[in-house]
Amino acid sequence: MDHNKIIELTNVSRTYSMGKFGVAALRSVSLTVAPGEFTAIMGPSGSGKSTLLHLLGFLDRPDSGRYALNGKDTTTLDEGRLASLRNNMIGFVFQQFHLLPRISALENTELPLVYAGKRHLKEKAAQRLKEVGLADRMTHRSNELSGGEQQRVAIARALINDPPIILADEPTGNLDSKSQNEIMDILVALNRRGKTIIMVTHEEEVAEYARRVIRMRDGKIISDEVKTPGNKGEKLPAVLRQEDAPLTEYTGRGRADLGDHFRQAFWSIFSHKMRSALSMLGILIGVAAVIAMLALGEGAKESISQTLASLGSNLLTLRPGSQKLHGVAMDSGSVTRITLGDVDAVAKLDNVKRVSPSVQGRAQAVYLNRNWSTQVQGAGVNYAEMRASVPTVGRFFTEDEIRSRQRVALIGTTVARELFGDNDPLEAMIKMNRINFKVIGVLPSKGANMWRDQDDVVIIPVSTAMYRMLGKQYVDSVDIEVSGPSFMDGTEKAIRDLIKKRHRLTKENDDSFEVRNMADIQASLAKTTETMTWLLGSIAGISLLVGGIGIMNIMLVSVTERTREIGLRKAIGARGSDIMTQFLIESVVMTFTGGAIGVMFGAGIAAAMSAAAGWAVRVSMASVLLATLFSIAVGMIFGLWPARQAARLDPITALRYE
């Protein structure tokens, strides 16, 4: 390696496309810079001086030619290694300062440490700010600093990783004369300490601070003058022997860690509260809709499950049917009437576990000065187990009470409330159709289904209902519990054959009774509920999808809004992967936060629906987990494109964005 050359350009050219035409910004430029030099590059606008500086700082790439840094060819390096060079070997001082708003001078100075993986050395930032005379302004935000102070912060940021080369692009262009002199004095002091300074300027009085002045025109170097002490030498630094200049070798070590990416993402989110709130709003609404709709669906499933439980499991129901005579339907039971003898015969069939005959009617129940019109049902002793009707208070009637036609009754919770209020109904006497009945139990609450209030019922022994109260000789239906689901079809056929045989039915009237399979009804209800749940979930999912598209739109706007910030981060050493990771984290954090708030809102909406409309709702952990994971997935999927767009931005193009 030639220690007399820290920078060597050989026949470097750069052409920019302007529509169908190309504009040559640099034309076969060759240049060497020795360690410790203070060089000024001058020329009119469009001469190529800024393009040359950007190529030296790896913010842009040459179309042709060779660029060697410390003797190493850099023209074939990938973006990651170029980012490390910008972070470790080059310090940038821009005319526009390019400080991040809403954070302090100290935090702006620390930024290159983040991308060097050296954030633990953040005390260096305070030291650098002290060196540029800002010890008392460290905690002030950039918009609270004067132009000269902002440029000092930029210089402190450029020095934080102790790079051997400082590139300054019109460092005093936006400053008053006093601030200009202060900034140039700082650059002179840095050169005396061995820093190689390359500065672009169009002001002769600023160029006087440099030892070497390169003049450009039309993309070419037209003069290269090395000053000697005596040429206005009062402003020139003392000659620095080149062998004393530090030559930092590129190692390529150091990367931002995940914790730093999270800190940068949180800074961005909290620095732009309105933008972040709008991003989260779409996800919040979507997740709240998912939670509320799934809670409604789960509640419906639970209600139907309770209804199915009240219907019993593995049940067949035998009912008298209506025969059709010459195409005209006859009254139900006009041909085949089910007797208690039929019930006993069915009970003896194989795989029949239990049977319970049933008759129905209505009566006016009276207790003291209260009365209530309710349904009366006569049932067998097995009804309690088969129909999930074991009383919560009291007992069910016995076989002996059925045989002796006892006047005992079990009442539903609705009847208990209407007749007894808060009083204990056990052992009380109620009157139905002028017949006194003793209350021996209260049935469990089953709620209302789509047909009727299941708790508005009085159950009495079937024999009492038939012969003492309703005057019926035949039963209205028979519930039959089968030993297992695999025996349902066979038992149903056996019952049909038995009834046909006992009632001597022919083919002409074998449709005068029916056997209903309650499992089919249960399956149909379960399927309907499942379909409804999926429908509600799909509608809510669409809301979440729309929220995700909103996130993507906001993030794309954010990329455009923060183009200069992205250019700055790349200029101080951020890789494309660093930018992409930060934007993805921002997107995921916003969607996760919106999702978490949405879960709470959704649960509140579900509770409000339950209170206002009396709907059964149930917020399950599965729905909460699903909505949360889905919101994170939405953040990653819809944040990926904006993150990739941000990562692909060219640093110099981003810095120049208006």
- Of 550 and 413, the structure prediction assigns the larger pLDDT to 413
Distance of CA 195 to the CA centre of its chain: 49
Least trusted range by pLDDT, from 201-215, 369-383, 610-624: 610-624
Least trusted range by pLDDT, from 132-136, 257-261, 568-572: 257-261
pLDDT at site 244: 38
> pLDDT digits over 404-417, tens only?
999 999 999 999 99
Q: How far is CA 367 from CA 296, 394, 420, 459, in A?
A: 39, 18, 8, 16
- Of 156 and 529, the structure prediction assigns the larger pLDDT to 156
Please identify which residue in the block is written with the tokens 């004393």. Answer: 244
Whether residue 307 has pLDDT greater than 70: no
Whether residue 335 has pLDDT greater than 80: no
Q: Count CB neighbours of 253 within 10 A.
A: 10
Please identify which residue in the block is written with the tokens 């004095």. Answer: 185
Q: How confident is the model at residue 220 (pLDDT cuts 50, 70, 90)?
A: very high
Whether the CB-CB separation of 474 and 337 falls below 8 Å is answered with yes
Mean pLDDT in residue range 112-123: 77
pLDDT at site 246: 40
Spatial separation of the C-alpha atoms in residues 317 and 357, rounded to whole Å: 10
Domain extents in the chain: 268-307+524-655, 337-504
pLDDT at site 80: 84
Spatial separation of the C-alpha atoms in residues 427 and 417, rounded to whole Å: 16
pLDDT at site 503: 85
Exposed, middle or buried, 590 (CB in 10 Å: 0-12/13-18/19+)?
A: buried
Torsion sign across C-alpha atoms 51, 57, 61, 65: positive
Question: What average pLDDT is seen over the chain?
Answer: 82
Terminal-to-terminal C-alpha distance of the chain: 41
Whether the CB-CB separation of 362 and 548 falls below 8 Å is answered with no
Q: How far is CA 657 from CA 49, 564, 649, 654, in A?
A: 19, 6, 11, 5
Least trusted range by pLDDT, from 59-73, 307-321, 629-643: 307-321
Percentage of residues in the chain having pLDDT higher than 90: 26
Q: How far is CA 504 from CA 27, 43, 349, 512, in A?
A: 112, 118, 18, 12
Spatial separation of the C-alpha atoms in residues 191 and 399, rounded to whole Å: 110
Percentage of residues in the chain having pLDDT higher than 70: 85
- Of 317 and 591, the structure prediction assigns the larger pLDDT to 317
Mean pLDDT in residue range 587-592: 82
Highest mean pLDDT among 185-199, 280-294, 525-539: 185-199
Distance of CA 548 to the CA centre of its chain: 8
Torsion sign across C-alpha atoms 355, 359, 365, 367: negative
pLDDT at site 599: 83
pLDDT at site 325: 47
Whether the CB-CB separation of 475 and 340 falls below 8 Å is answered with yes
Select from 55, 145, 42 the least CA-distant residue to 97.
145
Mean pLDDT in residue range 437-461: 86
Whether residue 254 has pLDDT greater than 60: no
Whether the CB-CB separation of 540 and 290 falls below 8 Å is answered with yes
Torsion sign across C-alpha atoms 84, 87, 88, 89: positive
> pLDDT digits over 150-205, tens only?
888 989 998 888 899 999 998 888 788 888 888 898 999 999 988 999 999 988 88
- Of 236 and 59, the structure prediction assigns the larger pLDDT to 59
Q: How confident is the model at residue 486 (pLDDT cuts 50, 70, 90)?
A: confident
- Phi, psi torsion values for 6, nearest 5 degrees: -85, -30
Whether residue 94 has pLDDT greater than 60: yes
Least trusted range by pLDDT, from 50-59, 170-179, 611-620: 611-620
pLDDT at site 216: 93
Spatial separation of the C-alpha atoms in residues 416 and 435, rounded to whole Å: 18
Torsion sign across C-alpha atoms 245, 95, 122, 111: negative
Q: How confident is the model at residue 519 (pLDDT cuts 50, 70, 90)?
A: low
- Of 190 and 549, the structure prediction assigns the larger pLDDT to 190
pLDDT at site 540: 65
Select from 180, 174, 177 the least CA-distant residue to 96.
174
pLDDT at site 310: 55
pLDDT at site 239: 42
Distance of CA 292 to the CA centre of its chain: 16
Whether the CB-CB separation of 83 and 115 falls below 8 Å is answered with yes
Please identify which residue in the block is written with the tokens 């090395």. Answer: 226
| CA R_g for the chain | 44
Report the b/e string of 200-232 with b at 16+ CB within 10 A: bbeeeebbbbbbbbbbbeebebeeeeebeeeee
Whether residue 287 has pLDDT greater than 60: yes
Find the angle CA(587)-CA(590)-CA(594) to the nearest 5 degrees: 140
pLDDT at site 308: 55
Mean pLDDT in residue range 68-85: 88
Spatial separation of the C-alpha atoms in residues 449 and 542, rounded to whole Å: 30
Least trusted range by pLDDT, from 47-61, 120-134, 265-279: 265-279
Whether the CB-CB separation of 54 and 60 falls below 8 Å is answered with yes
Q: How confident is the model at residue 483 (pLDDT cuts 50, 70, 90)?
A: confident
Please identify which residue in the block is written with the tokens 């579900």. Answer: 606
Whether residue 112 has pLDDT greater than 50: yes
Whether the CB-CB separation of 54 and 29 falls below 8 Å is answered with no
3-class DSSP string for 227-257: CCCCCCHHHCCCCCCHHHCCCCCCCCCCCCC
Whether residue 124 has pLDDT greater than 70: yes
Mean pLDDT in residue range 422-446: 92
Find the angle CA(489)-CA(495)-CA(496) to the nearest 5 degrees: 90
